[in-house]
Chains A and B, each alone.
Chain A
């Protein structure tokens, strides 16, 4: 081979070697970029999961604190206020014998009012406490609440039970009852409704709680101004027990709140978890 041919062959080898080097380097850089992007996406997904989990935990804690507070109030009403009123009633009984006819009638009237207040406070205390739910179950507790509202004359409430009833779990039933109370409070405070219908619908793999009223209703804009946090609370509570909430309303057409859940689906709240009875 001539010197030129040798040189050309050497140049060819050199170019090939250089090409291989740069191809390897480029391959390394491209591989790094792909790995980096995958890692970025994985980190983003993990962060979103952590944030969602954190939000759920905060929500769970808020709801537990609310329930603890309600239970405390219930206990105070039962142990202190009703006791004091019972004492007042007894003291009034003592006055009846020494009073004249007109005063006797007035004292008897006051005693009846105090008795009524004691009964109402006891009912209120029971509705705030979760002991009633634990012992009676959701349907019976709602039934008692309906009786209390109907007796008060504030609203005419009808309760319908469909399907064969079964226990949904203590925590689920407590949360559902709180949702029902929230909806009832909203109706009493804001809707100006005359009638309310509650439907408890039981199926093997589906449970519905529907609360419907014929009140003033509201639009999306009104939600932002007044009702926002209460309705959000209903949705959050429903998601905690593995359910979903649908709230449908428009001005002058009342409001329909529907909670749907699959009893087989796992929930964030589990019986025997963090929910403690503070009165025990």
Chain B
């Protein structure tokens, strides 16, 4: 499964780079995120092969993912106050993540579940806010052709599912006797769905039809 994941991230990273010139700024950041994901997945494989765990990978991936997603949403929103709030949240999450990694849920043994829950909730909030913005100021292009829609859908599905998986993981550990591979399949299935939606978003994005928040009143 991990090898499949590596192949998927490799394909995504290549597609992102091939389409780079015609992408708008938020999706250029997304293409860099895909490269980050590729390296993180490779590091994940190396860590599991050598240390039988991927704790450190999670301590890097979780805040790193939020930094990239935060930047993407920073470029997607036009409202000055929302942009500042997002940048502030990126700084806060990074600082909290460092504190969590070295002092609370140490990188030597514990997964950064606190930061995971925090970033997943923040991402869902940002996705819902963007959906709301899209409803207030709809563009003239069919929604299926809008890269923002596919990206936002990917974020909301991925983060909601991972939040549930984290909650389920703790519950299953305490109450159920079961084969944890089922949870792993759920997790991998979500990841692949997430990557598929990101691929569609990258392919749909073009500068000529970049129409996020074009309502004349939304210039703050």
Contact indicator A36/B177 (Cβ below 8 Å): no
A39-47, A216-224, A229-237 - interface stretch: A39-47
Selected from B131, B153, B160, B168, the residue in CB contact (under 8 A) with A14 is B168
Is A3 an interface residue, CB under 8 A from the partner?
A: yes
Between A and B, 20 residue pairs with Cβ closer than 8 Å are A3-B177, A6-B178, A7-B179, A10-B172, A10-B177, A11-B182, A14-B168, A21-B160, A21-B164, A28-B156, A29-B153, A29-B156, A32-B131, A32-B135, A36-B135, A36-B138, A37-B143, A39-B135, A39-B138, A40-B143
Residues 13-41 (chain A) with a chain B CB within 8 angstroms:
14, 17-18, 21-22, 25, 28-29, 32-33, 35-37, 39-40
Selected from A11, A22, A29, A37, the residue in CB contact (under 8 A) with B178 is A11
Q: How far is the CA of A18 from the CA of B165 in the complex (A)?
A: 9
Contacts of B168 in A (CB 8 A): 14, 17
Contact indicator B143/A36 (Cβ below 8 Å): yes
| Least Cβ–Cβ distance between B204 and chain A, in angstroms | 15
Q: How far is the CA of A28 from the CA of B153 in the complex (A)?
A: 10
Q: How far is the CA of A32 from the CA of B168 in the complex (A)?
A: 27
Selected from B138, B153, B157, B179, the residue in CB contact (under 8 A) with A43 is B138
Residues 162-207 (chain B) with a chain A CB within 8 angstroms:
164, 168, 172, 176-179, 182-183, 186
Q: Which residue on A lies nearest to B141, using beta carbons?
A: A40
| Least Cβ–Cβ distance between B147 and chain A, in angstroms | 15
Contacts of A17 in B (CB 8 A): 164, 168
Q: How far is the CA of A29 from the CA of B186 in the complex (A)?
A: 20
Contacts of A21 in B (CB 8 A): 160-161, 164
| Least Cβ–Cβ distance between A44 and chain B, in angstroms | 7
Contact indicator A40/B179 (Cβ below 8 Å): no
Contact indicator A7/B138 (Cβ below 8 Å): no
Q: Scoring A residues 1 to 13 as 1 if CB is less than 8 Å from chain B, else 0, what string do you get? A: 0010011001100
Selected from A3, A14, A36, A37, the residue in CB contact (under 8 A) with B182 is A14
Most A CB contacts (10 A, CB to CB) among B140, B160, B168, B178 go to B178
Is B134 an interface residue, CB under 8 A from the partner?
A: yes
| Interface class of chain A by DSSP | helix
> Using a Cβ–Cβ cut-off of 8 Å, how many residues does chain A contribute to the interface with B?
22
Contacts of B178 in A (CB 8 A): 6-7, 10-11, 14
Q: Which residue on B lies nearest to A39, using beta carbons?
A: B138
Contact indicator A33/B143 (Cβ below 8 Å): yes
Q: Which residue on A lies nearest to B176, using beta carbons?
A: A10
| Least Cβ–Cβ distance between A14 and chain B, in angstroms | 6
> Using a Cβ–Cβ cut-off of 8 Å, how many residues does chain B contribute to the interface with A?
22
Contact indicator A40/B177 (Cβ below 8 Å): no
Q: Which residue on B lies nearest to A3, using beta carbons?
A: B177
| Least Cβ–Cβ distance between A41 and chain B, in angstroms | 9
Contacts of A22 in B (CB 8 A): 161
Contact indicator A14/B140 (Cβ below 8 Å): no
| Least Cβ–Cβ distance between B186 and chain A, in angstroms | 6
Contacts of A29 in B (CB 8 A): 153, 156
Contacts of A7 in B (CB 8 A): 177-179
Q: Scoring A residues 238 to 276 as 1 if CB is less than 8 Å from chain B, else 0, what string do you get? A: 000000000000000000000000000000000000000
Q: Beyond A7-B177, A11-B178, is A25–B138 a contact (Cβ under 8 Å)?
A: no
Residues 115-158 (chain A) with a chain B CB within 8 angstroms:
none
Selected from B134, B164, B177, B186, the residue in CB contact (under 8 A) with A6 is B177
| Least Cβ–Cβ distance between B132 and chain A, in angstroms | 10
Q: Scoring B residues 124 to 168 as 1 if CB is less than 8 Å from chain A, else 0, what string do you get? A: 000000010011001110010000000001001100110010001
Contacts of B179 in A (CB 8 A): 7, 11
Q: Which residue on B lies nearest to A25, using beta carbons?
A: B157
Contacts of A32 in B (CB 8 A): 131, 135
Contacts of A33 in B (CB 8 A): 143
New A-B pairs, 19, CB < 8 Å, besides A14-B172, A36-B143: A6-B176, A6-B177, A7-B179, A10-B172, A10-B178, A14-B168, A14-B178, A14-B183, A17-B168, A18-B186, A25-B156, A25-B157, A25-B160, A25-B161, A29-B153, A29-B156, A33-B143, A36-B138, A40-B138
Contacts of B134 in A (CB 8 A): 36
Q: Scoring A residues 81 to 113 as 1 if CB is less than 8 Å from chain B, else 0, what string do you get? A: 000000000000000000000000000000000
Contacts of A43 in B (CB 8 A): 138
| Least Cβ–Cβ distance between B138 and chain A, in angstroms | 5
Q: Which residue on B lies nearest to A47, using beta carbons?
A: B140
Q: How far is the CA of A33 from the CA of B140 in the complex (A)?
A: 14
Q: How far is the CA of A32 from the CA of B132 in the complex (A)?
A: 9
Q: How far is the CA of A39 from the CA of B176 in the complex (A)?
A: 46
